[in-house]
Amino acid sequence: MTDLSRASTPDDGVARRTILAGAAWSIPVIATAAVAPAASASGTLALAFNQASYTGTACSTITGAYVTATTNGTPTTGASITVTLSNGYTFAGGSATYTSTSDASGRVSLPAISVPSIGGTSALQGVSGTASSSATATGTPAPATITYYTYNNLGGIPATATITDVATCSDGVSGHWGFARTSDGNIYSSKNGSTFTLFASNTTHLAAADTAAIWSKTDNKVTYYSYTDLGGIPATATITDVATCSDGVSGHWGFARTSDGNIYSSKNGSTFTLFASNTTHLAAADTAAIWSKTDNKVTYYSYTDLGGIPATATITDVATCSDGVSGHWGFARTSDGNIYSRTGTPSSRSSWWHPPAVTTSSAHH
């Protein structure tokens, strides 16, 4: 009985409440200490490039780019970050991918980025686990340069232009001319090594030979030598090629071939008129023009409808020249890489011949 009465005394009750109160106070403290690390682990990793876009010029490098890793706004050390490039851009060393870990400031500094010769835009993509970030790099194309005669690497063509054709000629007195046509229809010219400047606009084709250049325009007008904007080619026709030549005596000729196989010609500035039909290719040089026809016959200088090219062959190009002494030559290249040639001297006009040593690669020369 004595033990039971002591267990129920007020002093004992106070002691129990005090112990319980102390236990109740200590439990939240222990719980708080356990939750704190969990909150830190749930932070979200974020990546960011130091710029949204970077710029450079073709054949140069972009430097100073980096990616920063943060967790809840705080720099993250030791995050493995991979950055990839596209569209021909590479890091120093030639790779389009770079991987490194972030330093104490959360940064991964990128190696120099090489801009390709054609410029363009590259996507930069940074990835670390599920975190990612992107940026762009843009390179301005390198300005084009042109060499003709003894004049090397001449500028003046806009860096944003794409050259589609070049040509050169000389009048034998005042000097040499160089021409370059760009994809926007502009023609730029240079005389005796001067910087190229805008010469003509709204053009479709360009060629040059025998002291003169020739070009066609979007309205089907043609200019050659000193004869400008000559008409005569039907408005419904599509010009596919132009050529010019001069015999040095009677004057200059201009030629324009259309997609229906017709060739129109002009002499000394006359209106263009129909000259030949059923043609497949056109060229001119050294006082003469040359063209092939759908039956594989070829005409050049004053020699018309010459045969000798196999009927099973497909002509892909023609050319002509003269040494000024022994006569005129005609050449026709076929799709199998063969070149057939023929001289215009009386003793050897009877047939075409095919030099067996000619190869596809040498045919282009």
In this prediction, residue 160 has a pLDDT band, given cuts at 50, 70 and 90, of: confident
Q: Which of 175, 167, 162, 72 is nearest to 120 (CA)?
A: 162
State mean pLDDT over 222-234: 97
Each domain of the chain, given as residue ranges in start order, spans: 2-41, 45-140, 146-363
Q: Which of 300, 341, 303, 319 is nearest to 209 (CA)?
A: 319
- pLDDT digit string, tens, across residues 103-114: 999 999 999 999
| Residues, the chain | 365
Report whether 287 contacts 246 (CB < 8 A): yes
Residue the block writes with tokens 């039907």? 234
State mean pLDDT over 22-40: 39
- pLDDT digit string, tens, across residues 186-200: 999 999 999 999 999
Give the helix ranges, DSSP H, for the chain: 2-7, 10-41, 360-363
What distance in Å separates the CA atoms of residue 317 and residue 11, rounded to the nearest whole number?
119
What percentage of the chain exceeds 90 in pLDDT?
A: 72
Q: Which of 351, 347, 280 is nearest to 316 (CA)?
A: 280
Q: pTM here?
A: 0.64
State mean pLDDT over 232-247: 96
Fold of 45-140: Immunoglobulin-like (2.60.40)
For residue 262, pLDDT beyond 50:
yes
In this prediction, residue 119 has a pLDDT band, given cuts at 50, 70 and 90, of: confident
In this prediction, residue 356 has a pLDDT band, given cuts at 50, 70 and 90, of: very low
Report whether 318 contacts 364 (CB < 8 A): no
* Residue 230 neighbours by CB distance under 10 Å: 20
Report whether 352 contacts 309 (CB < 8 A): yes
Report whether 229 contacts 215 (CB < 8 A): no
In this prediction, residue 352 has a pLDDT band, given cuts at 50, 70 and 90, of: low
Who's near 182: CB < 8 A, 6+ residues apart? 157, 158, 161, 162, 163, 164, 188
* Residue 282 neighbours by CB distance under 10 Å: 20
Q: Which of 30, 65, 27 is nearest to 48 (CA)?
A: 65
- pLDDT digit string, tens, across residues 170-182: 987 889 999 999 9
- The confidence score (pLDDT) of residue 29 equals 43
Alpha carbon distances (Å) from 97 to 94, 120, 205? 9, 18, 43
What distance in Å separates the CA atoms of residue 258 and residue 189, rounded to the nearest whole number?
25
Report whether 220 contacts 240 (CB < 8 A): no
- The confidence score (pLDDT) of residue 216 equals 98
What distance in Å separates the CA atoms of residue 78 and residue 289, rounded to the nearest whole number?
72
What distance in Å separates the CA atoms of residue 163 and residue 181, rounded to the nearest whole number?
6
- The confidence score (pLDDT) of residue 60 equals 92
Q: Which two tokens stand for residue 320?
A: 């002509």
Q: Which of 96, 97, 40, 95 is nearest to 71 (CA)?
A: 40
* 351 or 113: which leads in pLDDT: 113
Residue the block writes with tokens 């071939």? 257
> 56: buried, middle or exposed (CB in 10 Å: 19+, 13-18, 0-12)?
buried
Compute the mean pLDDT over every residue in the chain, rounded to the nearest whole number.
85
Who's near 280: CB < 8 A, 6+ residues apart? 261, 291, 292, 293, 294, 315
- The confidence score (pLDDT) of residue 143 equals 77
What percentage of the chain exceeds 70 in pLDDT?
A: 82
* Residue 254 neighbours by CB distance under 10 Å: 29
For residue 319, pLDDT beyond 50:
yes
For the domain covering 146-363, report its CATH number: 2.130.10.30
| Per-residue exposure over 173-196, b if at least 16 CB sit within 10 Å of its own CB, e if not | eeebbbbbbbeeebbbbbeeeeeb
